[in-house]
Amino acid sequence: MTGILSVAAVPSKTAADAGRLAMTEQEFRHFYAETARPLKSYLTRITGQADLADDLLQEAYYRMLRAELPALDAQQMKNYLYKVATNLTRDHFRRPSRQETPAEEMQIADPRAVGSSASLDIQRVLSTIKPQEREMVWLAYVEGASHREISAITGVKESSVRPLLYRIRQKLAALLCDSGLDGGSK
Amino acid sequence: MKNEGMNCQRETEVVLALRTGDFTDELRAHVAGCESCGEALAVASACQAAPGPETVPDASLLWRKMELRLKRERTEAAMRPAIIAERLTTAAFAVCAVLAIPWLAAQSPMLAIVAVAALVLIGISAASVYWLAASKR
């Protein structure tokens, strides 16, 4: 996610146990303004549900601000936030009462999650790949995350990111071609 | 560019150029001749073409909610030792009372009956208090 975040919001201290959040309100507002929309897009695409994405987003920020973190720069904070959000999403779908796979529920779950027809089309294409693959695709091709960042966020070994992304990209490119969504990109 | 058989090293550059709209002629020419970057561009274009979320939760409201939640959690954490002590005391009292009943019965059967009745009343009162406290939480 190189170069897409320019906030100076750094957690003041690792003070979760001191009874306060790890940023001041102003730092939080700045950090939130930079990260909330991309994070919600990410969560909406990997869950297919806008309401769920909102819930997970709020929980992710809270967990991040409560965590005992060493001093991190803004980019590291953002990566940590995405990691928390990714783990929360996986936990959500792992719970016994949530047996449905996000992939199968994506289209029908919440039309607000997608909005336009272009969005619906890409959502349909994304719903055909595994949740972890969706995470990787979004991080690599929308957030522009490096392989190291993808590895840190998704927990996939850094050496496996490249071949996995290669396979997913080929699969998606073929699906996009079949759906007529690849036009004019070159 | 080094392709390494799978992903071209310029893929990230292509994705970022697409985000910023900063596509140089040189990069465009590279994409035209690089299968990996071509595919990356197709995937990134499709994903990035989808509109972002219309709304996100309000930052101020979220901050207030987080502050309140933090306060509540800290209060609960602070209360935990007191709650444990209270439960241990209750358990110790119950054990002592049950052990005392045979001794009281040996002294006087009437005294034992009164003690059992008192224990039942205390038990009901304690259960009501716990139930009320739990329902308030």
Q: Is A165 on the interface with B (CB under 8 A)?
A: yes
Q: Would the ipTM clear 0.90, i.e. be above it?
A: no
Q: Does domain A22-179 have CATH number 1.20.140.160?
A: yes
| A163 contacts chain B (CB < 8 A) | yes
Q: Which residues of B touch A (CB under 8 A)?
A: 4, 6-7, 11-12, 15-16, 19, 31-32, 36, 38-54, 56-57, 59-60, 62-63, 65-67, 69-70, 74
Distance CA B54, CA A23 (A): 26
Q: What is the dihedral of CA A131, A156, A38, B59, to 10 degrees?
A: 100
Q: Average pLDDT over chain A, rounded to whole?
A: 78
Buried b (16+ CB within 10 A) or exposed e, B84-115: eeeeeeeeeeeeebeeeeeebeeeeeeebeeb
Q: What is the pLDDT of residue A107?
A: 46
Chain centre distance of CA B64: 17
* Inter-chain residue contact A176 with B44, CB threshold 8 Å: no
Check A185 against B46: CB less than 8 A apart.
Answer: yes
Determine the 3-state secondary structure of B54 from DSSP. coil
Q: In 3-state terms, what secondary structure has residue B55?
A: coil
pTM equals 0.72
Q: In sequence order, which residues have a C-beta less than 8 Å from that of residue A92 and are 6 or more positions away?
A: A47, A52, A56, A98
At A149, is the pLDDT very low, low, confident or very high (cuts 50, 70, 90)? very high
Contact A113, A17 (CB under 8 A): no
Identify all chain B residues contacting A119, using CB atoms and an 8 Å cutoff.
50-51
By CB neighbour count within 10 A (0-12 exposed, 13-18 middle, 19+ buried), where does B122 fall?
Answer: middle
Chain A residues touching residue B45 (CB < 8 angstroms): 182, 184-185
B16 contacts in chain A (CB < 8 Å): 2-4, 144
Q: Which residues in B lie closer than 8 A to residue A182 (C-beta atoms)?
A: 42, 45-46
- Please report, for chain A, the start and end positions of each structural domain, with discontinuous segments joined by +: 22-179
C-alpha A65/C-alpha A56 separation (Å) is: 14
Range with the largest mean pLDDT of A65-74, A151-160, B5-14, B126-135: A151-160
Each of the 137 residues of chain B gets a pLDDT tens digit; together they read 444 456 788 888 888 888 888 888 899 899 888 888 888 888 888 888 877 777 889 999 999 999 999 999 889 889 899 889 988 998 898 888 888 888 888 888 888 888 889 888 988 998 898 888 888 76
Nearest chain A residue to B30 by CA: give it.
A186
pLDDT at A114 over 70: no
Q: Which residues of B touch A162 (CB under 8 A)?
A: 4, 6-7
| Chain A neighbors of B38, CB-CB under 8 A | 185-186
pLDDT digits (tens, 9 = 90+) for A119-148: 667 777 888 888 899 999 999 988 888 899
Distance of CA B68 to the CA centre of its chain: 15
How much of chain A, in percent, has pLDDT values that exceed 90? Answer: 37
**A185 to B41: CB separation less than 8 angstroms, yes or no:** yes
